[in-house]
Each structure stands twice: as structure tokens, then as C-alpha cells.
Amino acid sequence: MQTSTITEQQAIQHAHGHDGAHHHTETFISKYIFSLDHKTIGKQFLIMGMIWAFIGGSMSVLFRIQLGWPDETFPILERIFSSWFTDGKINPEAYYSLITMHGTIMVFFVLTAGLSGTFANILIPLQIGARDMASPLMNALSFWLFFIAGVIMFASLFLPTGAASAGWTIYPPLSALPQVSPGSGNGMTFWLISIVLFVASTLMSGLNYVSTILNMRTKGMTMFRMPLTVWALFFTAIIGILSFPVLVSCVVLLIFDRSLGTSFYLSNIVIGGKALPFAGGSPILFQHLFWFLGHPEVYIIILPAMGIVSEVLAVHARKPIFGYKAMIFSILGITVLSFLVWAHHMFLSGMNPFLGSIFTLFTLLIAIPSAIKVFNWLTTLWKGNIRITPPTMFAIGFISIFISGGLTGIWLGNSTLDIQLHDTYFVVAHFHLVMGVAAFFGMFAGVYHWFPRMYGRMMNDTLAYIHFGITFIGAYLIFWPMHFIGLSGVPRRYYSFNEIEAFSQYATTNKIISAATIVVFLAQVIFLINFFWSMFKGRKSTQNPWHANTLEWTSPIEGVHGNWEGELPTVHRWPYDYSRDPESDVDFIPQTVPLSEKEKADKLHH
Amino acid sequence: MSFVLGLLTLALLFIVIVQISKASELIKTLRSGNEQEETFSNSALFVTILGFGILIYTLVTCVYYKPHLLPKPASEQGVWIDNLLTITIILTGVVYVITQILLFAFVYKYQYSKKRKAYFFPDNNKLEIAWTIVPSIVLTILIGFAIQKWFKIFSPAPKDAIVIEATGKQYAWTLRYSGRDQKLGKRDFSLVNSDNELGINWNDPASKDDFIADELVLPVNKAVSINIGALDVIHNFWLPHFRLMMSAVPGVPTHLWFRPTITTEEMRKETNNPNFDYVLACNKLCGSGHYNMQKKVRVVTEEEYKAWLRDQKPYYLTAVH
């Protein structure tokens, strides 16, 4: 019933002509490469993110092979990566370059650009009823800056001295002095330049997202009628705008220390019995500046995933998201607190222990909005009518993994427990689950959910089930045992566990983890096959395949420049009117449907 | 050869998976005349089984790995941390089990049915307030306990503590004991040269009896105060069995004190491992040799410690004389 009204409206709008849509002849290059259309730019971010995820993931396979089978030799790998291997084994330098690159690529290129970039671009204009971003040109520039940053980062892998190898957190003095680590030579210079370009890209897109959301909402789309995806992307952009510039200042001071002989981060350094001429700097200053971005960064990664999961759950559970406003305020709470917790990465860095107590307090406070969100998701499922489609599976997997990884945050945010757990494998388990795997699950939920919106076709369900099953089980097989390894005192970032007796007992566990890593990595190939195959050969999607309420499903499925032919849609209600009327046989009321007389009388509307 | 075969098998596996999926897609297209007929019972069962399977796996591994974790803490400070850890495990464990059960039980119980309608339940302030306040109270109590211990751990060391200096450099620890006078000789950055890497000021009389040890030897039940530093890059002074950790930062002196309570011998009996040794390891990425930057730690009785002290030669004699 509802769908037919929409098609009628569209037919009418179509007859009005193309006053809103911009039509001009497009070449292949202007349409697919240097496009200004937010939908194309979103897809560019997605494909680029997938390429980077593949590169970053294959790096983890390489270093997991070393950790799982430290005594074996792999001549075949040596033939492929000859400069990284000696006698069939990976070199420690190459190992540390790979973990550094894996972290950098996953955090910045995949889970920031790939996740936010994709969904902010595709969803913001479509869900608020705008023709495009506030500045399509800046939007395109943002993608191309990200692309160049990626090219530079990738090129650094082929430098004779190797890529940066000081960990993705690049703490000086290790990252500042080429004498102490070959990766801190040109590799680090490339890293720093790449990140500065990346931040410029993030700022351009962030400012664009915020101004689009604030200024370009269609008629009737008040802030409190926006889907939670848009709210999440809105706060994500704000966090990025406020914190990423601090990373630039942090990085620029490091560049000065490296090339101009300043001493912002360096003091009293002795190498090989020779005192270096640095005085008065503090390596701890770097950590403060780095984590002032570094911690908000994890919320930049997880908030969009949370938004996607909220939307996907409501649609597929056929139920309004529980506590819409509580969800918004908890995102706001997370946003504010995300700026007050950075030093929980530094409890044992040498900063004053008094600061540790303050940061423990704020850090544990952030557990409260996170808990509210989890309880609200659970209540959304309660008494729902849940369709377990591929996006739903990944959304549910997200919640499970977010709980598992989030609860250990209460351990690590506690400065006293951090004395035992800091920088052990427990931390690796925690953050991979809560912001790595969880964010990936949010991303997969989003891709499976909006694929029909992006390409007008459905993805294959069977392949998606296999993909989900292997990835979900694999995620736990990989990261759950790391909690125990960490609780046994084993530090992270070790090239081998055989040298120190106390840490050498987990050979079998490490083999299992490495084997699971390889299987999970291969399972992502199933996703890639599904993605590209469905793009051309998938079942054709209907206009609104999930029976969702939000505006993006009213825009023509083939995708037109300007998003809607004729006038922009008008919004009359919030996006979560699912199963509103128990009498009706349709269990959703799109945002474009005016309130009925009965609803007006009820005053129940949102 | 085996590698090529492996690749071929893998490729075949992918082709099989894709073919099966294509067939299922075809069936779906044939059936798609009536979309509402779609059921989700298979997929709901699939997710539920995975969910509960994983819950069981996570709980079973907790039991399985328990004996492999660190033995009981070998310092007073470690006991405090261990107790706090136990409280936290119970608290978060309960929440973990309940929420995972609810999640997957809901998935199964409220799976799609044509006959049913979802319950329109957009908000409820009482519930929201409840799950804001309950975690707040629980966390406040937890923070209260934790911060009290935190300040105890970082309180000033007792006056009679043995003073030791640990300096990290790529990839070794230098341990300097303060000797009979319990005072470490002063260091001066301007005195650093290849014969005097630490820059010890030999004019300071306190430096004359200091000695360098190749193991961290500590008497049981006596407070030890450790001044931590680094020469080249950041290291991290990590004593897993004592549950103690502190960064070693060039240019920023750090400090830690603790009281070992179990000797190495006692711990060997405790763990049934005659080869057991405490270890000091580096826990901050410091370069390509990071994974092998260790020192043996030995906790001994008072008498053994005194005997060991008698054998140590002042660094002054070996380095300058």
C-alpha cells in the first residue's frame, strides 16, 4: 500500500520535469573517476577501503605465519617477498614494519576513510533529502587526497630501508632517530607525509558532512527526525574536525625534530656511548598530542558502525529503535567524553600518577553511554519480528563482539589493573574486538544493507551466510585466546615468544590463532566474489527491498545525479515507524507519508 | 608443488561455494513471485547456534586456560591488583553472560513470522534511567577501590628501601645497585662518553660503592625502590610475576617501589616447575630486538642476599680504577 503511494508520487514528480536534477553529457572519466556525485565518491571510498583492507589483512597473515610457526621456513614466501625474508623466515625489521603498516592502514585507511567515507557519502545526502554534499568539489578533493596519501604509504613499503616500523603509534625517540631503527629513516618520512595528507582529506570531508547535515535537510526533516546513521556520522565528523588537526601538529613537531634538529620530543639521548645534542624535550608530550587524536579516533571508527547497526536492527526487527533520543544523547556523551580520556593510554608512561586517577574516572564514565546503547539494542530486538538477513546477522554479530570487547575496556580503563595489563596481548584482544572486528561487522552490515541502494541489485544470501559464519567464529578463535595470553604477561609486539621462557608456553594456541587468521582472511574472498559478482549479475532489487522508512529508498534505484527527479521529498515523521499500527497489514510507514488523522489525534508522533 | 596444489584446491573450493550459492539464488528467483513467503527460520537457527556455541567456547576456554595464567602474585602490590582483577572479572563476567544469552535468545524467540507483529515500543524513561544509574553506581564503587590502591602503589617508597637503578637501552637492561651507603652516585648527561655510558659522576663519593649486577637479585619481604630510565628510546620495565610495570623514558626519570613476598625457590615449589624463574622483560616496542630484552630476576632470603652482596665488585673499580 505504502510503496504504491511512493511510486505514484514519483510518477507525478517525473512528469514535472527535471528541474532539480542536473543532466549533462558525462564521459567515463567524469562519471566514474573524477566524479562530483556523492554516490560515486562513496563507492570510490568503499572500493579503496576494500583494497586497503585486503593489503592490511594480508600483512596480518604474513606476521601471523611468523608467530604461529616460528621454527618453520617458507621459501615460497621468500621468493615473493625477497627483501623481507632471510633463510625462509621474515626479518624482525620487516615484521615490525608489517605490524606498523597493518595498524596504520586498518585504523586510518580502512576503518576511518573506508567506513566513514563510504557511508557518510552515500547516506548523508540520501537520508536527509539533499541533492548532494554542501561542496561536491571538496568532497571529491577529499577522496583524491586520501588516494594520494595511500599511494605514498604504499610506496614506503618498497624503500630499501623499509617502511616505518615504530608501531602505528610511532612513539619517539624510536620514530625520530634512523640510528635506532632502519624504518625510522625514509619510511617514517613517507609515513608522516602520508598522514598529513590524510588528515587534510578527513578535514575536508568532515566539514562537508557537518555543513550538509546542518544546512541541507529537506522540508520537514528536523534534526530529531534524522536516522541514527546520520546522527552518528554527524558526531563522527565533529570528533574528526576537533581532533585530527592535533595529530598534524603532533606530526609536524616530529618532522621538525627529525629534520631541523629541534628537541620537542627528545632529551638526554645516548646512542653507542655518544650523547646526542638534544635537550629539554619530552617523549611524553608526543604521547599526549598523539592520543588526543588517537583516542577520539577509536570513536571515529566505532560511531558510524553503531549508527549503521541501529538503523539495520530497526529495519530488520520491524520495530522502532528503542530509546531514539537516549541513543542520540549517548552518542553525544561519547563524543564529549572521547576528548577527556586520552591519557588512559599513558597511565604508565611516566606522567604524574595523580593524572591517572582523573583519567580512570572519565574512562569508566564512558562505559555508561556504551552500556545504554547495548541495552537499547537488546530492547529493540525484544518482541521484534526479526528477519535474519545478511545485514541483520552482521548487526547481531556486531553487538555480540562489541559486548565481548567492550567489557574488557572496564579492565583496561582502570589504571590499577592497567599496571598488569598494559601493552600485553590482553590489549590486542580488547581493541581488535571492540574497534576492529566490531567496526568491520558494522561495515559489512552496512554494505549488505545498502548494496541494493548502491548497485540496484541484491547480494547473494548463501555466500553471505558462509561469509558471516566463518568470520564470526574466526573472530572469536583469533582474539578470544589472546586475553589469556595477555593475562599470562605476554607483551604485544614480540617477534618471537621463544626467547623468554615465561612467555613461551603458548605455541599451540598461537598456531590455532594463525590458522584461524588465514581462514578468516580467505573467507573475505567470498565476500569480494559476492560483491563484484552481484554488482553485475545479482538479482535485481526492488525500489525498497527491505521495506525501510528512510528517504534513500524513495530515490530512483538506478541513481540519478541530484538524487531525486523533480522536487525533493517532504518528511512528515521520524524514521522508525515500524509496526506502528497493529491493525494494518503493512508494518512500515515511510518518512514521506503524512500523519493520518488517527495519528494526529494520538499525539504519539515523534 | 604442494603450494600449487594447495592453490588449486582453494580455487576449486571457491568455485564450488559460488556454484551452490548461484543455485540457491536461482531457486529464490523462481520463488520470488511471492516475497512474503520468505521465511528466516533457517538463518535464525544458524545465528542462534553460532551465538550459543561461541558463548560455550568462551566459557570453556576460561576454565582451560586458568592453570596457564600467571602464578599467584609475588609482591604485596601484586596481591592488591590481583584482588581488584578478580572483582572485575566477576562483575564483567556476569554482564557478559547475561547480555550474550539475551541477545541470541531474542534472535531465536523473536524470529520473523508472518502471523506476528512486532511490538511498537519506542521508548521508556524508567528503563533508560535504570540502566544509566545501575552501571554508574557499580562503576563508582569499582573506581573507589581502584584509585585507593593506585595511590598506595605510587606512594613514596619506605625510607629503608633498597635503591636500584634500572636503565634500558637497545636491547638490554643495566642494573645499578646503590651499594653499602644506599645512595646512587649522581649522573650527569655532560659526562657521557663511550667509557661512561651512564654519565656517572665519579667525583660524587656516593658513586664509589655502586655496583652493576647482571641479575636483578632481591631479598624477600624488603621494600625495593627502583629508579627507571632509558638511554636511547622508550622501554618498559615489566615484572609480570610481581604485576608491576613502568615506562623507561629517555630524559624523564620514573620510579616504582614494591615488596617481593615469595622467593624464587618457593615459587618453584608453588608452580611445580623446578626451572621457574622470575623475569624482567621490555614491554614497549624499542626496535628489532625488542622481543629479547630480558634479565633474570632472583628473589632470595635475607642471608643469601647478604652473601651475594659480598661478591659484588664496585663499578668504580672495574670502570675507572
Q: What are the structural domain ranges in chain A?
A: 2-19+38-605
Amino acid A606: pLDDT: 57
Q: How would residue A560 be classed by pLDDT, with cut points 50, 70 and 90?
A: confident
Question: What are B254-293's pLDDT values in tens digits?
Answer: 999 999 999 999 999 999 999 999 999 999 999 999 999 9
Give chain A positions within 8 Å (CB) of B100: 400, 403-404
Give the nearest partner residue to A317 out of B77, B95, B118, using CB atoms. B118
Give chain B positions within 8 Å (CB) of A463: 17-18, 21
- Whether residues A460 and B22 touch (CB distance < 8 A) is answered with yes
Given a cut of 50, whether residue A18 has pLDDT beyond it is: no
Tell me how far CA of residue A125 lies from CA of A32, A120, A313, A366, A564, in angstroms.
Answer: 19, 8, 21, 30, 11
First to last CA, chain A: 22
Amino acid A20: pLDDT: 43
Query: How far away is chain A from the Cα of B177, in angstroms, using its nearest Cα?
Result: 21
First to last CA, chain B: 65
Amino acid A605: pLDDT: 52
Q: Is the dihedral of CA A83, A85, A91, A94 positive or negative?
A: positive
Q: Give the nearest chain A residue to B44 (CA atoms).
A: A388
Query: How far away is chain B from the Cα of A70, in angstroms, using its nearest Cα?
Result: 13
Given a cut of 60, whether residue A324 has pLDDT beyond it is: yes
Least confident of A272-276, A467-471, A594-598: A594-598
Query: How far away is chain B from the Cα of A424, in angstroms, using its nearest Cα?
Result: 8
For residues A581 and A31, which has the higher predicted lDDT (pLDDT)?
A581
Q: Give the nearest chain B residue to A581 (CA atoms).
A: B120
Least confident of A149-153, B52-56, B112-116: B112-116
Chosen from A385, A421, A424 to mutate, greatest number of chain B CBs within 10 A:
A385
Question: Nearest 5°: CA angle at A436, between A434 and A440?
Answer: 110
Q: How would residue A2 be classed by pLDDT, with cut points 50, 70 and 90?
A: very low
Given a cut of 50, whether residue A3 has pLDDT beyond it is: no
Amino acid A180: pLDDT: 93
Least confident of A387-391, A578-582, B1-5, B314-318: B1-5
Question: Nearest 5°: CA angle at A172, between A166 and A174?
Answer: 45
Amino acid A33: pLDDT: 78
Q: Give the nearest chain A residue to B154 (CA atoms).
A: A353
Q: How would residue B125 be classed by pLDDT, with cut points 50, 70 and 90?
A: very high
Given a cut of 70, whether residue B30 has pLDDT beyond it is: no
Give chain B positions within 8 Å (CB) of A481: 61, 65
Amino acid A30: pLDDT: 74
Compute the distance between CA of residue A343 and CA of residue A79 in angstroms, rounded to an integer: 44
- Whether residues B275 and A494 touch (CB distance < 8 A) is answered with no
- Whether residues B131 and A372 touch (CB distance < 8 A) is answered with yes
Compute the distance between CA of residue B173 and CA of residue B214 in angstroms, rounded to an integer: 9
Query: How far away is chain A from the Cα of B107, in angstroms, using its nearest Cα?
Result: 7
Average pLDDT, chain A: 92
Compute the distance between CA of residue A476 and CA of residue A468 in angstroms, rounded to an integer: 12
Give chain B positions within 8 Å (CB) of A488: 68-70, 240
Helices A367-381 & A353-365 angle (0-180, nearest 10) = 20
Evaluate whether the domain defined by A2-19+38-605 bears CATH number 1.10.1140.10: no
Least confident of A525-534, B1-10, B176-185: B1-10
Given a cut of 60, whether residue B33 has pLDDT beyond it is: no
ipTM: 0.93
Give the nearest partner residue to B43 out of A400, A465, A497, using CB atoms. A465
On whether any CB of chain B is under 8 Å from the CB of A45, the answer is no
Query: How far away is chain A from the Cα of B54, in angstroms, using its nearest Cα?
Result: 7
Amino acid B159: pLDDT: 92
Q: Which of A1, A241, A39 is nearest to A127 (CA)?
A: A39
Q: Which of left, alpha, beta for A577 (phi over 0: left; psi -120 to 50: alpha)?
A: beta
Question: What are B153-174's pLDDT values in tens digits?
Answer: 999 999 999 999 999 999 999 9
Least confident of A322-336, A424-438, B16-30, B233-247: B16-30
Given a cut of 70, whether residue B31 has pLDDT beyond it is: no
Compute the distance between CA of residue B284 and CA of residue B188 in angstroms, rounded to an integer: 25
* Pairing status of strand B254-258 against strand B224-230: antiparallel
Residue carrying C-alpha cell 527535471:
A18
Q: How would residue A111 be classed by pLDDT, with cut points 50, 70 and 90?
A: very high
Rounded average pLDDT over A105-127: 96
CA atoms within 13 A on the CB side of B302: 3
Give chain A positions within 8 Å (CB) of B142: 364, 410, 414
Tally Cβ neighbours within 10 Å of residue B120: 18
Amino acid A9: pLDDT: 45
Given a cut of 80, whether residue A158 has pLDDT beyond it is: yes
The pTM score is 0.93
Rounded average pLDDT over A29-44: 87
